[in-house]
Amino acid sequence: MTMHYSRREFLQNTACLTLATAALGRVSPGQAAQAAETLHLGPARSFSHEALIERARLLSRALYSPAPRIMPDIVQQIDYEAWGQIRFKPEQALFANGPQQYPVTFFHVGQFFQKSVRMHLVENGRAREILYSNDYFDMPGDSIARKLPDKTGFAGFRLQESRQREDWRTQDWVAFLGAAYFRTIGALNQYGLSARGVIVDAAEPTPEEFPDFTEFYLEGAAREGDPVIVHALLEGPSLTGAYRFELLRTTGVVQTIEASLFVRKDIARLGLAPLTSMYWFSESEKRRLEDWRPEVHDSDGLAIWTGSGERLWRPLINQPFAVTSSFVDNNPRGFGLLQRDRNFENYLDGVNYERRPSLWVEPLDNWGQGSIQLIELPTDDEIHDNIGVYWRPQEPARAGSTYQLRYRLHWLADEPYPAGVARCVATRIGRGGQPGKPRPRGVYKFSVEFAGASLEPLWGDTVKAHPVITASSGVIKDEFMQPVPGTRRWRAIFDLIPQGDQPVELRLFLQGNGEALTETWLYQFRPV
């Protein structure tokens, strides 16, 4: 799937936006010779991930130096339209002629991606910088970008599909672009939500900080199906880091990540393994005349698999103001932002919301005590990413602290480890009371639908089930469950009478024979 950047991608990225020479070694003529056919390379230097970690550690003890901006007056003139006319030539791609399987192409700097990122080819413990030239790009003869020098550097990179595919020149599957953002096409060949290296002070009274990936080191995959290895140096005012990505192209995309972080100064809110998405509206709380489409979102809910084994589902909400929700846990098994609704009829849009990836975070070691935190910001359009989720350790992030973590990102159509219970598939909210009678003010009716194999015994009437509902405040009344006509779904229906205008935290699951038949539905409702 070729990445075409819209104004939304620009906005979401701009809102955030040399190794020491060591022991003797030889540069293999293999990759370097092939790359030299298409790209200009710098001298070979020793490289290892351990050395990159040590470099990040030493940088954390020094004054912060922002990523370079080459000729910013020129770059500033490469606006949305001009940047869109600058295309990397696929014949210039790293590995375009082999020997590795997934060619690498590069993004040009521009008004919305002004910081230069240094790119390197790695082979046999040696790294060579990939030197920028505007000859690598197709651009209009009068493009202002032609005034940039060869030291400009790139804004980011992407991995093209395997050279075994005839369409690899136009199809890519991973992109790193803007601050510490990256994303993939998942299992349904469509870009959507993003992941980030780290989050610093999001939803705090002070401005959010956006650390940058400033250097990348690329190791190709020898065979189709082998992982591509990417090393990255992260730098920001409050911390530094070294990352190792193992990128595997499967039916979707799987990324195994090792991160070493070093805190420069105290951080009020540190978020690890963060995800960023967009949620405008769905069937839950769409406002009248908001938009002609039934739903608009990259993700529709947060799924959590707790350390104790409970499965949680929290539908996303377009909040009236910034809201942070915390789900306290110990050694979570996983969490993710999912796009569960795959029905085109619920979107009716040509931008393929029904194909946006679901993204699941799988910790590969014990993360201890902390919380999964969900940030929901208000939005009145689909061009803004307004959803964030991440892991926040319980202990404060103090200057001198270090973090070592391993996790895996699954970019798929669904979560990689399905629960053994039914899952929530719809949340609907309306006026309370009974049809045909005057509807009382201040009463709200909820209909929460579930589907899954664990509900099948209900159809044979061999299991008696009922909804288990709790509310942080207010009164729950008239609760019952029933099959959804024409489907194999069941739904729980209840009325909520809030007390005052404070938000109500709701919790619901279906229980049969003393056991949970469904995941636990969570919702934060604000009376209107």
pLDDT in tens, 306-352: 999 999 999 999 999 999 999 999 999 999 999 999 999 999 999 99
In three-state secondary structure terms, 75 is helix
What is the model's pLDDT at position 286? 77
Task: Give me the mean pLDDT over the 10-20 stretch.
Answer: 36
**Which residue is listed with tokens 């499965």?**
311
What whole-number distance in Å separates Cα of residue 101 and Cα of residue 43? Answer: 24
pLDDT > 70? residue 30: no
What whole-number distance in Å separates Cα of residue 384 and Cα of residue 8? Answer: 6
Dihedral angle at the C-alpha atoms of 283, 286, 288, 293, nearest 10 degrees? -70
Domains of the chain in sequence order: 7-412 (2.70.98.10), 423-525 (2.60.40.10)
Nearest to 448 by CA among 476, 415, 418: 476
pLDDT in tens, 169-215: 999 999 999 999 999 999 999 999 999 999 999 989 999 999 999 99
What whole-number distance in Å separates Cα of residue 351 and Cα of residue 280? Answer: 15
The amino acid at 187: A
Please write down the HEC assignment for all residues of 246-282. Answer: EEEECCCEEEEEEEEEEECCCECCEEEEEEEECEEEC
pLDDT in tens, 363-385: 999 999 999 999 999 999 999 99
Which residues does residue 260 pair with via DSSP β-bridges, in sequence order?
Answer: 242, 404
Burial class of residue 112 (count of CB atoms within 10 Å of its CB; 0-12, 13-18, 19+): buried
Can you spell out the DSSP letters for 170-226? T-EEEEEESTTEEEE-TTTT----EEESEEESTTSSSPPB--EEEEEEEE--SSTTS
- Bridging pattern class, strands 194-196 and 198-200: unpaired
pLDDT > 60? residue 19: no
C-beta separation of 280 from 334 below 8 A? no
C-beta separation of 127 from 47 below 8 A? yes
What is the model's pLDDT at position 35? 52
pLDDT in tens, 430-450: 999 888 888 889 999 999 999
What whole-number distance in Å separates Cα of residue 199 and Cα of residue 179? Answer: 11
C-beta separation of 452 from 423 below 8 A? yes
Q: pLDDT category, 460, cuts 50, 70, 90?
A: confident
C-beta separation of 421 from 452 below 8 A? yes
The two structure tokens encoding residue 353: 């919301």
pTM for this prediction: 0.92
What's the Rg (C-alpha) of the chain? 25
The two structure tokens encoding residue 311: 């499965």
CB-based contacts of 148, cutoff 8 Å, min separation 6: 70, 71, 74, 75, 109, 134
What whole-number distance in Å separates Cα of residue 282 and Cα of residue 47? Answer: 49
Nearest to 255 by CA among 127, 128, 159, 354: 159
The amino acid at 382: E
Give the H or E element holding residue 158: strand 156-160
